[in-house]
Amino acid sequence: MPSYLIYGEDNFRAKQKIKQIKEKYVSASLGDTNLKIIEGKEVSFDQIVREIWAIPFLAKSRLLIIKNLLKEGKKDTQEKTAEFLKKIPSSTVVFFQEDGLPDKRTVLYKRLNQPGKAQEYKLLEEEQLKRWIKKEVEGRGGEIESDAVALLAEYVGPDLWRMTNEINKLIAYRLSQKPEIINIEDVKLLVSPEIKSDIFKLIDAIGAKNFRAAISEYEKLLKAGENELYILSMIVYQFRNLLIVKDLIERSPRIDRWQIAKKTGLHPFVVQKTLYQIKNFTLDKLKEIYGALLDFDVAIKTGKMEGKTALVLAIAKFCM
C-alpha cells in the first residue's frame, strides 16, 4: 500500500517534509511531469481514482499529493478512498497532507495511521525548540549564544513560520556587526515578544495563590519600566484568554491546541501557556476575576484609586 500521511499542529515542519519529498522526487524523475497535487476540499472520489491509476510518463512511478482530504473532503469521498487504498498500484505513491490535526475517528485516518506510514508533527516543546533554533541558525551560516536562543524561544514560541523570519532578520543584522554571533541584546532589539513572559509568571503565581511570588513578579515588571496601566492591561489580556479557552474546552472537551489557536486567533505559544494555566481556575472563578479586573481598570482611569495600590489590592484579592 504505497500511501502515506503527513500531518500535525506544526504546519511548518509538516510542509517542509512535503517540500523535501517533492524535491527529491522531481530530482530523481528529471522533472515534475509525474507529480500531481490536488486539493481535497472539492475533489471527487472518481478524480482520485483517475489520478491514482494514471500511467507514469517515462518513469517507474508517479507522486500524488492530496491536501486536506481528511479535514475538508466530503465524507463519502473519504470513506470510498479508505476502501480503495489497498488497490493503489505500485506505480503511484500517494501522500495525504493535512494542515493541523484531522479527525482521528474517521475510517480514512485509521487506515492511513499505520506504523511507518504516518508522521505527525507536534508543536515543539521548549527544549526541542531551542535545539531547532540553534540548528536553523547554524544551517544558515550564523552563530547564536545560548541565552539568545532561550530568549528567542520565549519571545516567539513554536510558531516556526515567524521564527524563521526572525532568525533571518537576526542573521542579516549580525553580518554587519562584530562579532557576528547573535546575542541576547540583538533579540531584545529586533524581536517583539508575543506577550511578556513575566505576565505568565505573574498569572502562574496568582493561580497558585502565592501572593509573595505574585508581588515579586509585579515588582519586576515595574523595575523593567512598565507602568501600572500597561501591567493591568496585560493581566486583563491573559485572563481574557484564560476565560475564552476555558469556555471552549468545557463546551468542546476534544478540541486541540491547533483548533483553539484557529478559533481564537491566539498565538500557539499563548495557547500552550494558557492551557497550562487554566488548570488552576474554574470557569466561575475566571469570570469573577475578569469582572473584578475591569472594575479596577475603571477605578484607576477615573482617579478613584492610585494605580500601584489598585494592582496590589487586585493581586491580594485574587490570591485569597
C-alpha of 214 from chain center:
28
Question: Strand, coil or helix: what is 7?
Answer: strand
Tell me the mean pLDDT in the region 169-173: 93
Enumerate residues 6+ apart whose C-beta is below 8 A from 244.
264
On whether the CB atoms of residues 74 and 100 are closer than 8 A, the answer is: no
Cα 104 to Cα 51, 100, 254, 261, distances in angstroms:
25, 12, 11, 19
Please report, for the chain, the start and end positions of each structural domain, with discontinuous segments joined by +.
Answer: 3-120, 126-190, 197-318
Q: How many CB atoms lie within 10 A of CB 77?
A: 19
Cell numbers 531547532 correspond to: 132
Question: Which among 191, 302, 296 has a CA at the least distance from the CA of 239?
Answer: 296
Which pLDDT tens digit goes with each residue over 127-148? 899 999 999 999 999 999 999 9
* Architecture of the structural domain at 197-318: Up-down Bundle (1.20)
State residue 75's pLDDT score. Answer: 92
**3-state helix, strand and coil shares in percent for the chain, rounded to the nearest 5:** 60, 10, 30
CB atoms within 10 A of CB 58: 9
What is the distance between the alpha carbons of residues 100 and 262, in angstroms, rounded to a whole number? 10
Task: Please tell me whether the peptide bond between 179 and the residue prior to it is cis, using omega within 30 degrees of 0.
Answer: yes
Length of the chain: 320
CA distance 101 to 306: 48
* CB of 197 closer than 8 Å to CB of 157: no
Per-residue model confidence (pLDDT) at position 200: 81
User: Measured between alpha carbons, how far is 20 from 96 in angstroms, rounded to an integer?
Assistant: 15
Query: Which CATH number is correct for 3-120, 3.40.50.10190, 3.40.50.300, 3.40.50.620, 3.90.850.10?
Result: 3.40.50.300
Cβ–Cβ contacts within 10 Å for residue 23, how many? 10
Q: Specify whether the CB–CB gap between 203 and 290 falls below 8 A.
A: no
Cα distances (angstroms) measured from residue 77 to each of 18, 42, 46, 236: 23, 10, 9, 46
The rounded distance, in Å, linking the Cα atoms of 255 and 252 is: 6
Q: Per-residue pLDDT tens for 173-196?
A: 988 887 889 999 999 899 987 666
Helix (H, G, I), strand (E, B) or coil at 94: strand
pLDDT digits (tens, 9 = 90+) for 6-49: 999 899 999 999 999 998 888 877 678 889 999 998 899 999 99
Q: For residue 146, what is its C-alpha cell?
A: 545560548
How many angstroms separate the CA atoms of 75 and 271, rounded? Answer: 30
pLDDT at 274 over 90: no
For 211-248, the pLDDT digits (tens) are 999 999 899 888 878 888 888 888 898 899 999 999 99
- Are the folds of 3-120 and 126-190 the same? no
Fold of domain 126-190: Helicase, Ruva Protein; domain 3 (1.10.8)
The pair phi, psi for residue 8, each rounded to 5°, is: 145, 160
pLDDT mean across residues, the chain: 89
Cα angle value 95/12/6 (rounded, 5°):
20
pLDDT digits (tens, 9 = 90+) for 46-100: 999 999 999 988 888 889 999 999 999 999 999 999 999 999 999 999 999 999 8
For residues 13 and 121, is the Cβ–Cβ distance under 8 A?
A: yes
pTM of the model: 0.66
Comparison of pLDDT for 27 and 295, the residue scoring more: 295
